[in-house]
Chain A
Amino acid sequence: MFAYIVRRLFLMLVTLFGISVIIFVLLRIVPGNIVDILFDAAGFVDPADKANLERELGLNQPIVIQYLHWIGGLLRGDLGYSYVSEKPALQEILPRIPITARLAGLALLFSASIGIPLGVISAVHQGSKLDYALRVVSLSGLSLPSFWLGLLILMASVSLFGTMPIFNPNPKTWLEAITIYAVPAMAVGFRSAALTMRITRSSMLEILRQDYIRTARAKGASEASVNYRHALKNAVLPVITVIGIEAAFLIGGLIVTETVFNIPGIARFLVEALRWRDYPIVQNIVMLIAVVVVTVNFVVDMLYAAIDPRIRFGD
Chain B
Amino acid sequence: MRSVQALAIAVLSVLAISDVSLAGEPKSGGIFRIYHRDSPGSASIHEGSTYSINIPFMPVFNNLVIFDQHIAQNSTETIRPELAESWAWNGDNKTLTFKLRRDVKWHDGKPFTSADVKCTFDMLMGKSPQKFRQNPRKSWYDEVDDVTANGDYEASFNLKRPQPALLSLLASGYTPIYPCHLSPAEMRTKPVGTGPFKFVEFKANESIKLVKNPDYFKKGLPYLDGIEFTIITNRSTAILGFVSGKFDMTFPTEVSIPLLKDVKSQAPNAVCVVEPNNVSTNIIINSSGPPFDNIDIRRALALALDRKAFIQIMFEGQGDIGGTMEPAPSGLWAMPKDMMESIPGYGPDIEKNREEARKLMQKAGYGPDKHLQIKVSTRNIAVYRDPAIILIDQIKSIYIDAELDVVDTAQWFPKIARKDYSLGLNLTGNAVDEPDQSFYENYACGSERNYTNYCNKDIEKLFDQQSEETDVSKRKKMVWEIDKKLQEDVARPIIFHARTGTCWQPYVKNVTIMSNSSYNGYRYEDVWLDK
A166 close to B408 (CB less than 8 A): no
The answer, yes or no, to whether B269 is at the interface (CB within 8 Å) is no
How distant is the Cα of A155 from the Cα of B240 in the complex, in angstroms? Answer: 7
State which residues 46-97 of A face B: CB under 8 Å.
Answer: 46, 49, 52-53, 56, 82, 84-87, 92
A52 close to B131 (CB less than 8 A): yes
The answer, yes or no, to whether B264 is at the interface (CB within 8 Å) is no
The answer, yes or no, to whether A164 is at the interface (CB within 8 Å) is yes
Q: A40-B412, A162-B244 are in contact. Are A262 and B230 (CB under 8 A)?
A: yes
Q: For residue B48, which residue of chain A has the nearest CB?
A: A42
The answer, yes or no, to whether A133 is at the interface (CB within 8 Å) is no
Chain B 25-42 against A: per-residue CB contact (8 Å), 1 yes, 0 no? 000000000000001011
Selected from A36, A43, A92, A259, the residue in CB contact (under 8 A) with B234 is: A259
B188 close to A164 (CB less than 8 A): no
The answer, yes or no, to whether B485 is at the interface (CB within 8 Å) is no
B237 close to A151 (CB less than 8 A): yes
How distant is the Cα of A184 from the Cα of B449 in the complex, in angstroms? Answer: 43
The answer, yes or no, to whether A240 is at the interface (CB within 8 Å) is no
A272 close to B49 (CB less than 8 A): no
How distant is the Cα of A151 from the Cα of B238 in the complex, in angstroms? Answer: 11
Give the chain A neighbours of B135 by CB distance below 8 A. Answer: 44, 46, 49
Selected from B231, B236, B448, the residue in CB contact (under 8 A) with A45 is: B448
The answer, yes or no, to whether B531 is at the interface (CB within 8 Å) is no
Chain B 123-143 against A: per-residue CB contact (8 Å), 1 yes, 0 no? 000100001111111110000
Q: A36-B413, A44-B139, A264-B203 are in contact. Are A154 and B134 (CB under 8 A)?
A: no
Q: B181 → chain A, closest Cβ, in Å?
A: 19
Give the chain B neighbours of A39 by CB distance below 8 A. Answer: 134, 413
Most chain A beta-carbon contacts within 10 A, residue among B137, B205, B233, B246:
B205
The answer, yes or no, to whether A24 is at the interface (CB within 8 Å) is no
The answer, yes or no, to whether A11 is at the interface (CB within 8 Å) is no
A31 close to B237 (CB less than 8 A): no
B240 close to A38 (CB less than 8 A): no
The answer, yes or no, to whether B4 is at the interface (CB within 8 Å) is no
Q: For residue A263, which residue of chain B has the nearest CB?
A: B206
State which residues 173-215 of B face A: CB under 8 Å.
Answer: 185, 188-189, 202-207
B237 close to A44 (CB less than 8 A): no
A262 close to B237 (CB less than 8 A): yes
Give the chain A neighbours of B205 by CB distance below 8 A. Answer: 264, 268-269, 272
State which residues 73-127 of B face A: CB under 8 Å.
Answer: 126
Q: B251 → chain A, closest Cβ, in Å?
A: 13
Chain A 129-157 against B: per-residue CB contact (8 Å), 1 yes, 0 no? 00000000000000000000001001101
The answer, yes or no, to whether A37 is at the interface (CB within 8 Å) is yes
A46 close to B408 (CB less than 8 A): no
Q: B77 → chain A, closest Cβ, in Å?
A: 29
B137 close to A44 (CB less than 8 A): yes
The answer, yes or no, to whether A260 is at the interface (CB within 8 Å) is yes
Selected from A85, A162, A164, A268, the residue in CB contact (under 8 A) with B241 is: A164
B449 close to A164 (CB less than 8 A): no
Q: For residue A38, which residue of chain B has the nearest CB?
A: B134
Give the chain A neighbours of B329 by CB distance below 8 A. Answer: none
The answer, yes or no, to whether A128 is at the interface (CB within 8 Å) is no
Q: For residue B267, which residue of chain A has the nearest CB?
A: A158
Give the chain A neighbours of B20 by CB distance below 8 A. Answer: none
Chain B 430-461 against A: per-residue CB contact (8 Å), 1 yes, 0 no? 00000000000100000111000000000000
A261 close to B237 (CB less than 8 A): yes
Give the chain A neighbours of B414 by CB distance below 8 A. Answer: 31-32, 36, 40
The answer, yes or no, to whether A41 is at the interface (CB within 8 Å) is yes
The answer, yes or no, to whether A276 is at the interface (CB within 8 Å) is yes
The answer, yes or no, to whether B527 is at the interface (CB within 8 Å) is no
Give the chain A neighbours of B204 by CB distance below 8 A. Answer: 82, 84-85, 92, 269, 272
Selected from B188, B240, B448, the residue in CB contact (under 8 A) with A86 is: B188
A40 close to B133 (CB less than 8 A): no
The answer, yes or no, to whether B410 is at the interface (CB within 8 Å) is yes
State which residues 217-274 of B face A: CB under 8 Å.
Answer: 230-234, 236-237, 240-241, 243-246, 266
Give the chain B neighbours of A40 by CB distance below 8 A. Answer: 410, 412-414
The answer, yes or no, to whether A201 is at the interface (CB within 8 Å) is no
Q: B247 → chain A, closest Cβ, in Å?
A: 10
The answer, yes or no, to whether A215 is at the interface (CB within 8 Å) is no
The answer, yes or no, to whether B411 is at the interface (CB within 8 Å) is yes
How distant is the Cα of A49 from the Cα of B412 in the complex, in angstroms? Answer: 20
The answer, yes or no, to whether A191 is at the interface (CB within 8 Å) is no
Q: A31-B410, A92-B204, A158-B244 are in contact. Are A262 and B234 (CB under 8 A)?
A: yes
State which residues 256-315 of A face B: CB under 8 Å.
Answer: 259-262, 264, 268-269, 272, 275-277
Give the chain A neighbours of B189 by CB distance below 8 A. Answer: 85-87
B50 close to A164 (CB less than 8 A): no
How distant is the Cα of A188 from the Cα of B15 in the complex, in angstroms? Answer: 60
How distant is the Cα of A260 from the Cα of B231 in the complex, in angstroms? Answer: 12
The answer, yes or no, to whether B409 is at the interface (CB within 8 Å) is yes
B131 close to A164 (CB less than 8 A): no
Selected from B203, B410, B449, the residue in CB contact (under 8 A) with A277 is: B410
Most chain A beta-carbon contacts within 10 A, residue among B240, B246, B411, B449:
B240
Give the chain B neighbours of A269 by CB distance below 8 A. Answer: 204-205
Q: A38-B41, A86-B189 are in contact. Are A32 and B237 (CB under 8 A)?
A: no
A32 close to B41 (CB less than 8 A): no
The residues of A with any CB-CB pair to B shorter than 8 Å are 31-33, 36-46, 49, 52-53, 56, 82, 84-87, 92, 151, 154-155, 157-158, 162-164, 166, 169, 259-262, 264, 268-269, 272, 275-277
Known: A33-B410, A41-B49. 5 other contacts (CB 8 A): A38-B134, A40-B412, A44-B448, A154-B237, A166-B232
Instruction: Give 22 pairs: A residue, B residue, CB < 8 Å, sorted on A.
Output: A31-B410, A32-B410, A32-B414, A39-B134, A39-B413, A40-B413, A41-B49, A43-B49, A43-B449, A49-B135, A53-B133, A85-B189, A151-B236, A162-B245, A164-B237, A164-B240, A164-B241, A166-B237, A166-B241, A262-B230, A262-B237, A272-B205
